[in-house]
Amino acid sequence: MHSAGGVAVAAMWLFETTSVIMVITLTSPGLTAEVNPATVREGEKVTLKCSTTCTLSNHPTIVWFRDGQSVSKTEFQANSDDSGRYRCADQGQDLLSSAPVSLDVQYAPKNVTLSVNPSGDVVKGNSVTLTCSCSANPPVLAYTLYKESGQPLATLTPSQSHTIRSISLTDSGGYYCQAQNEVSVVKSNVTSLNVQYPPEDTSVSVSPSGPVVEGIFVNLTCSSHANPAVSYTWYRVNGRSPVQSGTQLILEKVSPANSGRYYCEAQNKHGALNSSLLLLDVLYPPRNTLVSVSFSVPLLEGSSVNLTCSSHANPAVENYTWFKKDGTDTSQTGSGEVLALTSLPSSDSGQYFCEARNREGAHNSTVVSLTIQGANQATKTFQMPVYISSAATVFMVIILVLFLWMWKSPIKLCQKTAVDKEDDQNTVLSSRRTSNDPATQETRTEEQENALYANVQLPPSHTHHQDSSLYSVVKPPALQNPPDPHYATFDFQQFHSSIDKAQLSGLHEDDVVYSTMKPRQVNMTDNLQYASIQFPLPSPSARSEERLEVDHSVIYSTIAKPEA
């Protein structure tokens, strides 16, 4: 600064990062600015006064500036915005102003704010920092952190912050801070600290409390502590899917089918927690009451029998009572789950039933009839099964013997020699040659009248010719009144294959055997019995040579029964 011609010149250089600004203020030595008082508290009166030692033009106009900004009033109520440097000048001569003077306006803390970091949801177990800030003149001497209840939590000077580590549910609530300077003490607004956490203490309650009886209204309620709020889902142990969702599970008319163990699941965005199991035990009176009897049939006098009563009930049956019905009369015969009847007389015959009872009610079983037989009646009763079983045994033995005989007979028959076969064939030829003799014919006719004929066809084997046959004549007892004769014709052409051609040279195909037989008064078909028995064939090796021949392994028999 220097003076030239009585004018003070002041130069002030202001540097910025990209440019240099030069402000030149000319100070008039004849003007003096005055602020009264220079230090005030907000709300107090301030007066600005400008004086000069120079002779100015008539009626000069003084203007005021604060930090370069025009000030319209020379008297005003001070506030925090009025603090600054003031100067005055003659209007029109703004560059020739007085020296600046300062006004210091003091005020209590303003815009006191408590902030939370990190912002947003505060999850249980994490850390959070609370910071108090404000504007004040003079500066704040102390910051104090309080819970909404008014309990001081911490003094924040000088850091203005407080950190809560591993925050818990007890840290939830409202907080505020207090800023204090020489002017006054000011509180911030309340800031809520919302500590969130997954479900805790999930539980199930039942209403009404006490025993749950079949048919009543039952309400199961699920509760849990959590932040934010949870959603509830109900489950039944061993159930394939959730029962339902919601806080309550309502059973309007509970039944034994609803008995079981239930639990609920509480879930929010931070996790899930199941309740403990609740046993829903539905009580009901006895049902499905039955009587079982342990005895053998028949039930005899002097024997013993146990009658057992069973029933489904909840709680369990407390009392079983036995009754006997005799016609229209009913009398109690005993109590307990088992009724033991010993040394039974026939008078104990009758109808029995039991009653099952618990504290919820009673139920009767169906009636069981007992019939006690005397010794004579029991003997007759036993005889029939014995007869039946004996007859069945004898029949089975006969069937077994016949089967064994039929099984072994083909083996013995197959042992017949070729000589025997030849004799049989000669016998047949001889019979045919003498068939034309009247005397012989008459004799044979009488024999054939009462004969039983059997033709046994043996199975082919490597030792016998295919057409080997056994013929037998069985003569039944003679009848007392022989009926009139009749004639039968037999064609022996079927035996040509087993007779030597030389022996047949003297025979004609029309040769027949005539026999006189007594006619029967009943239909012949009623007196004939036919049987066909299939024998097992030889092994494949034994039949290899005759595999192209007809299988004659069958026995054909015709039996003519004599007329009674």
As a CATH number, domain 284-373 is 2.60.40.10
Is residue 156's pLDDT more than 90? Answer: no
Query: In the chain, how long is the greatest CA-to-CA distance?
Result: 207
- Who wins on pLDDT, 339 or 548? 339
Quote the strand ranges of 181-217, DSSP E.
185-187, 191-193, 195-207, 212-213
Question: Which pLDDT does position 253 carry in this prediction?
Answer: 93
For the chain, what is the mean pLDDT?
74
* Confidence band of 168 (pLDDT split at 50, 70, 90): very high
Identify the band that residue 12 occupies on the pLDDT scale cut at 50, 70 and 90: very low
Q: Report the run of H or E that residue 164 belongs to, with start and end.
A: strand 161-164
Neighbours of 536 (CB within 10 A): 9
For residue 56, pLDDT over 60 is answered with no
Segment 275-283 mean pLDDT: 95
| CB-CB contact of 223 with 263 (8 Å) | no
User: For the chain, what percentages of helix, strand and coil (3-state, to nearest 5) are there?
Assistant: 20, 50, 35
Cα angle, residue 421 at apex, residues 417 and 425 outer, rounded to 5°: 165
CA-to-CA distance for 557 and 261, rounded, in angstroms?
80
pLDDT-based confidence at residue 257 (cuts at 50, 70, 90): very high
Q: Mean pLDDT over residues 146-153, rounded?
A: 84
How many degrees, rounded to 5, is the angle at CA 176 between CA 172 and CA 179?
155
Q: Which option is the CATH number for 197-280: 2.60.40.10, 3.40.190.10, 3.40.50.1000, 3.40.640.10?
A: 2.60.40.10
Can you read off the two tokens belonging to residue 417? 């020699």
**Strand partners of residue 113:** 133
Q: In the chain, pLDDT over 90 holds for what percent of residues?
A: 44
Q: Which of the four pLDDT bands, split at 50, 70 and 90, describes residue 420?
A: low
The answer to whether residue 386 scores a pLDDT higher than 80 is no
Give the model's pLDDT for residue 265: 96
Q: What is the rounded radius of gyration, in angstroms, for the C-alpha atoms of the chain?
A: 67
CA–CA gap between residue 448 and residue 539 (Å, rounded) = 39
Q: Inform me whether the pLDDT recorded for 76 exceeds 80.
A: yes
pLDDT of amino acid 372: 84
Which pLDDT tens digit goes with each residue over 461-488? 444 444 444 444 444 444 444 445 444 4
Question: Which residues make beta-bridge pairs with 145?
Answer: 154, 177
Assign domain 2-99 to its CATH superfamily. Immunoglobulins (2.60.40.10)
CATH code for residues 107-193: 2.60.40.10
pLDDT of 258 higher than 50: yes
Predicted TM-score of the model (pTM): 0.49
Task: Report which of residues 316 and 425 the model is more confident about.
Answer: 316
CB 317 within 8 A of CB 286: yes
Q: Which helix (H) or strand (E) holds 419?
A: helix 418-433
pLDDT at 411: 53
Q: Is pLDDT larger for residue 146 or for residue 457? A: 146
Contact 460, 543 (CB under 8 A): yes
Residue predicted with more confidence, 161 or 95: 161
A 10 A CB-CB count for 299 gives 20
Query: What is the structure's pLDDT at 499?
Result: 42
pLDDT at 337 over 50: yes
